[in-house]
Amino acid sequence: MADIIKLLPDHVANQIAAGEVVQRPASVVKELLENAIDAGATQVKLIVKDGGKSLIQVVDNGVGMSTTDARLSFERHATSKIKSADDLFNLQTKGFRGEALASIAAISHVEMQTKTETDELGTRLKIEGSKMVSQEPITTQKGTSILVKNLFYNIPARRNFLKSNQVELRHITDEFHRVALVHPDIEFHFYNNGAELFNLSETTYRKRISNVIGSKMVERLVPVHEETDVVNISGFICKPEFAKKSRGEQFFFANGRFIKSPYLHHAVVSAFEGLIKPDTYPGYFLYLNVDPSTVDINIHPTKTEVKFENEHALYAMLRSTVKHALGQFNVAPVLDFEHDPNLDTPYDYVQKEAVLPRVTVDRGFNPFEQKSTQPMPARPSVKGWENLYAGLSTDDRQSFSSLEFESESEQKTFEGDYLEHARQTPTFQLHRKYIVTTIKSGMLVIDQHRAHQRILYEKFLKEITVQEGVSQQLLFPIEVKFSKKELTVLNEIKDSLANIGFIFEDVKKDNRVKLSGVPSIMAEHQIASFLDGLISEYQEGRSHGGTSQAELLAHLLSKNLAIRNGEPLEQESQEALVNDLFSCKEPMLSPSKKKTYITLLVNDIEKRFL
């Protein structure tokens, strides 16, 4: 039998490795940014075009590479970070496998320019699909510039699976945030299609968080700090009142590396127990420093999942540290049994000064002077009350039973109207949650919140796809401020929102967006909070995938704008809701696939009386 096992060619092996390392343009951005930081750069510039599909460029002022190092850096498993297996358990750098540049070069056109401080000339390399095209000396500044063009050009199937430019840009922005948040001592610049998205100067951790996430984060942050023999914990948590229904502002960093850890996330959430609603998530930016020998960061190709040696102790310390920070800064309520509330100064009297009592003396007062006293008026007698009814016969007396009251006639009229309306399939509201009406076979009980969700869902879905939404013009346009990340998401869904009635005018330099029109169903005071919640929920829903943008937006819009349980409805509103529900294409289920109504048949009701 002939031998059938053969060694793969290098370019094929590199493409297979690229499938693990490079999943989308954001993966390339992550690897290049980490390489720039490992090179000791103090200034890093990121440039992308078309969501990273056409161009990704990272320029740094690090140590640079010699001609030989530049050539070897694109070989598989070539690295300057480790020399032996023991080094894997004492890692101080981000990249160490030596697969990143080789994998990127296998699926794109790469151009590198690099120069060390001691060399007079730098080196330029051009590689296409793992093949060296040219290598020449050039004049350039100290540092390294890597330009990646036409990602997945030789793997069309992988390129077809990439999302839209806005979605890919959002993933790139997420990776940029994860690197920038943990390195406030490095200056970062981020450009997309020629426009500057971020200009982050060297600063502190608190200011870097506010510059990346948004200026409104400053007032929400509570500092966290604890030093132990196992771990040093620092960073910030968000106040409980700013917890959100979706994830997005949860960041763990271990030894300067962004990590994902559901186990540690549970420790933070448990520290907020009783302070936030069960379906919300607290925000946090926590930096963990542990002994490199006690953590394994080599268990996942993207190095975002790590394994700690003593996770149980780390869980307990993290939970206690967060609880301590909440109590130390009076964020969490505390009980003081020695405090007497009776001694508290009322709020209205806090700023008031004490009023001295004034004593007056009646100098003409003579205690021996006799004063005349008036006799008290006599109390009238009630004797002889029967004489008031003298001369009246019993026939002239009127009994209370024969009297007519105005309210009785009104009640009769109301009952008549009600019975007359009952013959026309009436509706009534039960516990301000259900709408009850009659049908030929029995009775119908409708959940008003779910029913209105279904109505709005089909309405918004039609408006987004057909572009026939109705907008109400605002007399005075309002401005809403967003963070850079939120603005990226808003640009992605802006066209769909415009179809349902939102009118966006312009975006100012401080990330303020002016609106001159909103959907007719929305009140003006709801706009800012609604858009903020919509963007965060859209990010969370988009990460799960499975639905189109129109369906996801229609679902989120209907969920946020539907009438709530507990809201009273007038008779006309109840009837309109029932009619609109049964005009829908799928009236039985809400957008979340839950029942909108149930039926109680007459036969079932009669069985109850047996």
The pLDDT tens digits of the residues spanning 550-609 come to: 888 888 888 888 888 888 888 888 888 888 888 888 888 898 889 999 888 888 888 888
What 8-state DSSP symbol labels residue 244?
A: B
Query: pLDDT digits over 191-201, tens only?
Result: 999 888 899 99
d(CA 282, CA 287): 16
The answer to whether the beta carbons of residues 77 and 99 sit under 8 Å apart is yes
**Residue 68: pLDDT over 80:** yes
Map residue 87 onto helix, strand or coil.
helix
Average pLDDT, whole number, for the chain? 80
Map residue 349 onto helix, strand or coil.
helix
Contacts of 342 (CB under 8 A, 6+ apart): none
CA 367 vs CA 237, 359, 361, 486, 530: distances in Å: 74, 19, 14, 84, 77
Between 279 and 290, name the one with better pLDDT.
290
- What is the SS3 assignment for 412-468? HHHHHHHHHHHCCCCEEEECCCEEEEEECCEEEEEEHHHHHHHHHHHHHHHHHHHCC
Query: pLDDT digits over 109-151, tens only?
Result: 999 999 999 999 999 999 998 889 999 999 999 999 999 999 9
Q: Could you count the other beta carbons within 10 Å of the beta carbon of residue 155?
A: 17
CATH entry, 213-328, from 3.30.420.10, 3.10.180.10, 3.30.70.20, 3.30.230.10 = 3.30.230.10
Q: In the prediction, which pLDDT does 502 show?
A: 83
Q: Please indicate whether the domains covering 10-202 and 213-328 agree at the CATH topology level.
A: no
Quickly state the pLDDT bin for 420 (edges 50, 70, 90). very low
Question: Which has the minimum average pLDDT: 28-42, 165-179, 207-221?
Answer: 207-221
Burial class, 446, CB count within 10 angstroms (exposed 0-12 / middle 13-18 / buried 19+): buried
d(CA 414, CA 418): 6
Q: In the prediction, which pLDDT does 372 show?
A: 53
Query: pLDDT digits over 5-16, tens only?
Result: 777 776 666 666
Quickly state the pLDDT bin for 286 (edges 50, 70, 90). very high
d(CA 609, CA 592): 36
Burial class, 69, CB count within 10 angstroms (exposed 0-12 / middle 13-18 / buried 19+): middle
Q: In the prediction, which pLDDT does 411 show?
A: 38
Q: Give CA 323 to chain center in angstroms.
A: 22
45: tokens are: 């510039």
Q: Give CA 473 to chain center in angstroms.
A: 28
Quickly state the pLDDT bin for 17 (edges 50, 70, 90). low
d(CA 496, CA 501): 9
Quickly state the pLDDT bin for 479 (edges 50, 70, 90). confident
**Residue 515: pLDDT over 90:** no
Query: pLDDT digits over 312-329, tens only?
Result: 999 999 999 999 998 887
The answer to whether the beta carbons of residues 106 and 17 sit under 8 Å apart is yes
Quickly state the pLDDT bin for 310 (edges 50, 70, 90). confident
114: tokens are: 């690099």
Fold observed for domain 443-581: Ribosomal Protein S8; Chain: A, domain 1 (3.30.1370)
Nearest one of 54, 193, 195, 167 to 493, comparing CA atoms: 167
% pLDDT > 70, the chain: 78
The answer to whether the beta carbons of residues 119 and 66 sit under 8 Å apart is yes
Quickly state the pLDDT bin for 230 (edges 50, 70, 90). confident
**Residue 4: pLDDT over 50:** yes
Quickly state the pLDDT bin for 410 (edges 50, 70, 90). very low
Map residue 186 onto helix, strand or coil.
coil
Q: In the prediction, which pLDDT does 412 show?
A: 39
Q: In the prediction, which pLDDT does 20 show?
A: 62
CA 181 vs CA 76, 206, 394, 525: distances in Å: 30, 9, 96, 33
For the chain, the domains span: 10-202, 213-328, 443-581
Yes or no: is domain 10-202 CATH 3.30.565.10? yes
Q: In the prediction, which pLDDT does 320 show?
A: 93
Map residue 123 onto helix, strand or coil.
strand
d(CA 43, CA 118): 19
Q: Give CA 225 to chain center in angstroms.
A: 25
**Residue 399: pLDDT over 70:** no
Question: Which has the minimum average pLDDT: 99-113, 296-310, 417-431, 508-522?
Answer: 417-431
Quickly state the pLDDT bin for 208 (edges 50, 70, 90). very high
Amino acid, single-letter form, for residue 590:
S
**Residue 282: pLDDT over 60:** yes
Q: In the prediction, which pLDDT does 370 show?
A: 65
> What are the backbone angles phi and psi of residue 386, rounded to the nearest 5°?
-65, -25
% pLDDT > 90, the chain: 28
Nearest one of 252, 199, 170, 270 to 486, comparing CA atoms: 170
Residues in the chain: 610
Burial class, 154, CB count within 10 angstroms (exposed 0-12 / middle 13-18 / buried 19+): middle
Query: Using alpha carbons only, what angle is made at residue 524 by residues 520 and 525, rounded to the nearest 5 degrees?
Result: 140
